[in-house]
Structure 1
């Protein structure tokens, strides 16, 4: 895939992609995150897990600049507060769980929105912009959907379109909030393999939230377990996906077994007398 020129705010590889220090977030006066410290290395895949309400999506929104936390977050060495909106869009792209979909918009036009950071004011998309979008649609099994309205697509098809728009930004940091929640198992693997391929070949840094713990453990270099708005554990998938940690924080009965690419978490029924 043709990548745009790297923005000047991106620093050398030794500078962390994400630095979060003392992040606190309140929504409607309710504390959601309290004292979060997190460092993500450039090119790393970090997956954030945790029970419902732990603050996973809120953490991603804060890192992406969608919540007011500018003093607690640095991206590639630059304080978030110093990045103008257009600059930030070239550095970080977010795939939210339920993005706002403009009514009547076709797939091609929606994905082209990801190229806005590279289109001059009052200008139009270039041949390069169109080539990037068409390549992404093909790679995400959406080649025949150019003229389809987003509202007519299935949940899984829309999810792939949302990812295509984010990848079209050519950003160095990709934030994925439950990227496979609406996908069947085949498209789950296709999407995650594509993201991992871009990470390895083009230096993409990935921070994701995921509910499927087995899939999360297969792709992440490192995992962060959130609980009650705080980091309860961090480390490799083998260190975080343990029966003790998961049973305690998820209040679930699970069995964890080794897999070829990471631990496999199997829900089990509790024993009854």
Structure 2
């Protein structure tokens, strides 16, 4: 499958009278992994919210060739799934019930989940090695296990576009790798498209096909990780002292002390 999964043209967002995004263009091809990076306050999460339909952006965001304003909420939920930085989890909810929430777009109003919905959830739980946790309360799981459950809910939606907002920010390095390897395997196996935000620049460069650097609400640079993760760009936009080391999969960003 080819074409654009996401097209954003001249996206402008103001919150509280303050410009957050000031004319952002972005294209993500079907099956591509694009990660948005940038300093705090650059507008990364706002961009993802607009793409996911959580912010009003009439006429400037299209998903798989359809303007997002033309998609009803239920239809949009079948196309795009979001994993937020800190998803709200109802107290006492089990893993199975939480992942089943991903089937909401397919359940009629006032209806109940069908056998097909339960089968879809069990398939995802099995794929993510979570079957043994289905009756466990989400609050009792480790960080890496919870992150897999958040992904499971998104995958249970049957969406082909995953929006991941800082998906590993609360995880240790082992769980970071576990979650990101899983996302990449699923992307390749099922033709998913991934649009993510990340603070860890080395991790971003290891997994993304392309990086988009946001600064002051605008795209400051975009391209393969080798073109975006440069000492000059990171010094200018992050005010950081770094050294770039070429790794097996992408540039590694090493912070160094100022002289």
Under TM normalisation by the shorter chain, which class is it?
over 0.9
- Local SS of the residue matching 1:225: strand
| 1:60 maps to which of 48, 65, 79 | 48
2:118 maps to 1:130: yes
Shift of 1:269: 1.4
Aligned residues: 259
- Local SS of the residue matching 2:7: strand
Aligned partner of 1:160 in structure 2 is: 148
Shift of 1:193: 1.6
Question: What TM-score does the superposition give when structure 2 sets the normalisation length?
Answer: 0.94
The CA distance in 1 between the partners of 2:12 and 2:74, in whole Å, is: 25
1:102 to 1:70, Cα distance in 2 relative to 1, 3 A: farther
Aligned partner of 1:236 in structure 2 is: 224
After superposition, residues 6-17 of structure 1 pair within 5 angstroms as: 13-17=1-5
1:77-125 Cα distance to aligned partner (Å, 9 max, x none): 1000000001000000000112222222211101110011122333332
- Local SS of the residue matching 1:144: helix
Question: What TM-score does the superposition give when structure 1 sets the normalisation length?
Answer: 0.90
1:128 to 1:187, Cα distance in 2 relative to 1, 3 A: farther
Does the 8 Å contact 2:230/2:244 carry over to 1? yes
Aligned partner of 2:28 in structure 1 is: 40
Does the 8 Å contact 2:144/2:179 carry over to 1? no
Aligned partner of 2:132 in structure 1 is: 144
2:89 maps to 1:101: yes
2:1 maps to 1:18: no
2:181 maps to 1:188: no
Aligned partner of 1:76 in structure 2 is: 64
The CA distance in 1 between the partners of 2:108 and 2:52, in whole Å, is: 23
Shift of 1:29: 1.4
Shift of 1:164: 1.3
Does the 8 Å contact 2:4/2:27 carry over to 1? yes
Does the 8 Å contact 2:147/2:179 carry over to 1? no
Aligned partner of 1:221 in structure 2 is: 209
Which structure 1 segments of 5+ residues have no match?
Answer: 1-12
2:135 maps to 1:175: no
The CA distance in 2 between the partners of 1:100 and 1:137, in whole Å, is: 20
